[in-house]
Structure formats: structure tokens, C-alpha cells
């Protein structure tokens, strides 16, 4: 597994990532704004596949190949998660 470094992102980073991948066009502008207005906390709580894909990508993991076992192992290394409407922070246990 890759070396896990603490992750800090904000809603604007996530929005830019989605736009780079064309999701603003796929969802159409109104739905795209509705989706983003849910905020990071709401998307995290609802287990949004797009947000999880973004998180795995930012951690350097091949998000399309994350098995339940790897997710479990990743979860064991998390020390703390802080999430609000605009910000998300994941801190990992130091080795």
C-alpha cells in the first residue's frame, strides 16, 4: 500500500476535480450546483461515490480497484476525520 499522508481538501478543490472530468456537463449546471450545495459533510455521510473516488485519487490509490479488504485496511490507519460543508481533513496514524 502507498504511504498515506494526511489529506486536507476543500469544496472548491472537489468542484475543480469534477469539472476537469466533465461532470458539470454530464450532470448539467443546475444538478451540478445542487450536488455541490450538499457540501462535503453531506456527501461524505451519504457515501458519495464521486467524493470517495476523489479522496482515493488524492491519496494516490487506484480508486477503480479498491476492494473491501483494502478499504478496511485503509480505515484501520485513519486516526481522525474532520468534515464540514466546505472542508475535509483525514489524519492517519503515524508509523
Average pLDDT over residues 73-90: 96
Query: Is 57 a domain residue?
Result: yes
Q: Is the pTM of this model over 0.75?
A: yes
> β-strands 7-10, 87-92: how paired?
antiparallel
Residue 95: pLDDT band (50, 70, 90) is low
User: Tens digits of per-residue pLDDT, 21-66?
Assistant: 999 999 999 999 999 999 999 999 999 999 999 999 998 887 667 8
Residue 76 lies in a domain: yes
Our count of domains for the chain comes to: 1
Helix (H) or strand (E) holding 15: helix 11-20
CA dihedral 73, 79, 82, 87 (to 10 degrees): -70
**Per the domain annotation, does 1 fall within a domain?**
no
Q: Is residue 2 part of a domain?
A: no
Structural domain including 58 reads 7-92
pLDDT grade for 2, boundaries at 50, 70 and 90:
low
In a domain, 67, yes or no: yes
What DSSP line would sit under 16-65, residue for residue?
HHHHHTTHHHHH-HHHHHHHHHTHHHHHHHTT-HHHHHHHHHHTT--GGG
Amino acid at each position: 500500500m502507498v504511504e498515506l499522508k494526511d489529506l486536507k481538501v476543500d469544496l472548491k478543490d472537489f468542484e475543480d476535480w469534477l469539472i476537469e472530468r466533465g461532470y458539470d456537463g454530464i450532470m448539467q449546471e443546475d444538478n451540478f450546483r445542487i450536488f455541490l450545495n450538499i457540501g462535503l459533510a453531506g456527501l461524505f455521510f451519504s457515501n458519495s461515490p464521486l467524493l470517495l473516488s476523489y479522496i482515493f485519487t488524492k491519496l494516490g490509490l487506484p480508486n477503480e480497484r479498491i476492494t473491501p479488504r483494502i478499504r478496511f485496511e485503509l480505515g484501520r490507519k485513519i486516526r481522525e476525520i474532520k468534515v464540514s460543508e466546505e472542508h475535509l481533513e483525514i489524519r492517519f496514524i503515524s508509523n
